[in-house]
Amino acid sequence: MRTQVAIVGAGPAGLLLSHLLHLRGISSVVLEKRSRDYVERRVRAGVLEQGTVDTLIEADVGERMLREGLPHHGIELRYGGAGHRIPFDKLVPGRSITVYGQQEVVKDLIAARLAAGGDIRFEVEDVALHSLESEPYVTFGGERLDCDVIAGCDGFHGVSRPAIPEGVLTVFEKDYPFAWLGILAKVAPSSEELIYTRTERGFALHSMRSPTVSRFYLQVPADARLEEWPDERTWGELKARLESVPGFTLATGEIVERGITPMRAFVAEPMQYGRLYLAGDAAHIVPPTGAKGLNLAVADVRVLTDALAAYFEDGSTEPLDGYSRACLKRVWRAQHFSWWMTTLLHTFDEDDAYARRLQLSYLDYVTSSEAAATTLAENYVGLPY
């Protein structure tokens, strides 16, 4: 087999790249080790930046998102017994976020690719990348796929990044001393917008997926296990952290999914080697506090699509040569914002009273200064491309 671009991974990055390339007349084959059902059901992020929303609309895959997604024009920071709204519509006019599950984006992209005759191979085995410096090809399940370029979109644990020779990449990483317990519950949201809560008991986040399904997160110890958090304890702790302002009552319901997410950051530089280009979690991950993971993947793919179009249309290699440099500027901005949001809202060393007072002082500044609130707002909704 032969194609112009071999794409490893059928997550949002790989699927969107395949679709955007199709719109530019560039062929691709997507290889995914998981089943279609698994990929479409895998619950991940649900906050889409303005740029991500615009990208999906421009690519003609945003119809269901516009119909079912939940536009939000602000978030609430809750601490010290009071709630403080950060109004995106006032601070960054014309820019907002949309709550729409990552798995729904994946469903839309798969449907669009298959409707257009796209080649997506699910449940492929033994994927391996070869000859990255000259004439790249991918082998899988006893087959060989020749290509001009390989896009590694297979996540942090995929095969793409490890295919780069040792010593080429510089890795930056940070582990946080806690994790997030996340639950999905069949209950109407108790708030119209996301609530980020800082308490002495730890951080909590009230989010949502639809008018009838809510998403919640709790800061828990890094070594926490799911069996330690039965429904009663989970709801009790969510209530203790979220019902910290007068008049607010948290509605509870059936928990249909739960999981524990380690809090860590990772960046591999450069995001390319030879004719292999990494995108999304294959190159970088961020703690979920800033809601940047999926959105960074979309930003990478936009840059890579334009670079590949220039290469296949007129042979220009300059955009491809500068791919990593262009992406990393945004990646590091998102890394800083995610770190900042994480340190602003989580409980760290219980004995460090000095750090806690600094944290509260900065929260007071963000919620009282329009300049500080604007910095949060413009980073949260996503910087323009």
Q: Is residue 43 part of a domain?
A: yes
End-to-end CA distance of the chain: 35
Q: Is residue 354 part of a domain?
A: no
**For position 252, what pLDDT does the model report?**
97
Question: Could you report the per-residue pLDDT of 68-102, keeping only the tens digit for each?
Answer: 999 999 999 999 999 999 999 999 999 999 999 99
Residues 63 and 65: their CA atoms lie apart, in Å, by: 5
The catalytic site residues sit at 72, 196, 288, 292, 380
Tell me the CA distances in angstroms from 70 to 63, 67, 172, 374, one per residue in order. 13, 9, 35, 22
Its domain, for residue 141, covers: 5-72+93-173+264-341
**For position 44, what pLDDT does the model report?**
75
**For position 43, what pLDDT does the model report?**
74
Please choose, from the candidates 292, 76, 290, 77, the residue with its C-alpha nearest in 3D space to the C-alpha of residue 193.
76
Q: Is residue 245 part of a domain?
A: no
Q: Is residue 136 part of a domain?
A: yes
Q: Which residues of the chain have pLDDT under 70?
A: none
**For position 312, what pLDDT does the model report?**
97
**For position 351, what pLDDT does the model report?**
73
Q: Is residue 101 part of a domain?
A: yes
Q: Is residue 209 part of a domain?
A: no
Q: Rg of the chain over CA atoms, in angstroms?
A: 21
Please choose, from the candidates 186, 218, 226, the residue with its C-alpha nearest in 3D space to the C-alpha of residue 199.
218
Q: Is residue 346 part of a domain?
A: no
Structural domains of the chain, count: 1
Q: Is residue 185 part of a domain?
A: no
Question: Could you report the per-residue pLDDT of 39-50, keeping only the tens digit for each?
Answer: 998 877 789 999
**For position 243, what pLDDT does the model report?**
97
**For position 45, what pLDDT does the model report?**
75
> Where residue 283 sits, what CATH number does that domain have?
3.50.50.60
**For position 228, what pLDDT does the model report?**
97
Question: Could you report the per-residue pLDDT of 284-340, keeping only the tens digit for each?
Answer: 999 999 899 999 999 999 999 999 999 999 999 999 999 999 999 999 999 999 999
Residues 128 and 206: their CA atoms lie apart, in Å, by: 41
